[in-house]
Amino acid sequence: MLLYGHRIRLSRRPLIGLNILVNPNNRIINVLILAAGLGTRLKPLTDEWPKCLMPISGKPLLEIWLEQILKLDVSKVLVNLHYLKDEVLSFLQRPKYKNWVQSVFEAELLGTAGTFKNNYTFFQGETTLLVHGDNLCVCDLESFVKFHFSERPKGCSITMMTFRTDSPKTCGIVELDQHGIVQKFHEKVENPPGNLANAAIYLIEPEVLNWINERNSVNDFSNQVLPEFLGKISTWENKGIMRDIGNPESLAKAQKEVTFPIDSDLDEWQIAFASNPIHKSISNLK
C-alpha cells in the first residue's frame, strides 16, 4: 500500500481499452473531472498555463488522473473547461484521449452541482465518480470502487474518499460513526477534532444526481448537497498520496512525492509540452 508523503514510482500502462472490470456487480461508472478552476493561488504560474495541467515530476496532472481512471470499468468521462480552455482542449485531443474523453465548456463557472445539472443526461441513471482534476491523488482507485459497490453500509448514496492530513485546520475534517458514515463536517476550523479529511473525491449514486437536478437553487456540492446527505455518506480512506497543489509550496512538495518513467514515444503534444517554460518555473519553486 502506498504511504502518504512517501516517494513512489508509478509504471505506465498501455492504453488497451476501457472494459477492465473492477466492481463485482458489473456496474458502469461515469466520470466527471473538474478542470475549470482559475488557479488563483498559483499565480503567476497559472497566468498562461492551467492548474489542471501543471507538471508533477514532468507529467501533466490531468494525465495522472486519466491514467488511473483508465484502469476502471468506465463508460464515459466528461471534463469541464473554463479557464485557458484551449490549452486543456489541445491536451484532450491527443489520440490517446480523444476517443473516450469528452469535454464541456462553461462560459461562466457553474459550481460542481451546477455542472451536474447542466449535463444531467450524460450522467443520468449511472454511478458517477467525481474528482477534482487539480489535486494530486495517487491511490488504489479500483479498491475505492469495489468498496462502494460491495462494502459500503446499507442506505449510503455517496462514498467519500478521505485521507490523513498533517494540516487539519486547512482542510475539511469529517467525524464518523462506528460504521464509517459521516456525521459532521468541520470546514477549515482552528481546532478540528482529528485529522481525517475529505479528499473531495466521491462515488455518487443516481438518486443524488436526481436530487440535485430537481433543485434549481443548488449549485455548490460541498455546501448545499453534502449536508443534505449526512448519515448517508460512507467513507474510504486513501492511504496513498493526496495533495492539493493549489499553492506554490504544495506544488513543490508534490514534485518529490512521485516519479515516472521516461517516455521515449512522445506524441506532438508531449514534444511541445517538454519545452514549455512552466517546467523551469516549477523547478525554481522552493
The whole-number pLDDT of residue 26 equals 59
> The domain 8-283: what is its CATH number?
3.90.550.10
**Residue 173 CB: number of other CB atoms within 10 A?**
22
Distance of alpha carbon 218 from alpha carbon 113, whole angstroms: 7
For 164-185, what is the mean pLDDT? 91
The 8 Å CB, 24+ separation contacts for 269-278 are 269/90, 269/91, 269/94, 273/55, 273/60, 276/49, 278/45, 278/49, 278/54, 278/55
At residue 18, does pLDDT exceed 60? no
At residue 9, does pLDDT exceed 60? no
Average pLDDT of the chain is: 88
For 87-114, what is the mean pLDDT? 94
| Residue with cell string 503567476 | 44
Domain ranges of the chain: 8-283
The whole-number pLDDT of residue 14 equals 31
For 251-255, what is the mean pLDDT? 94
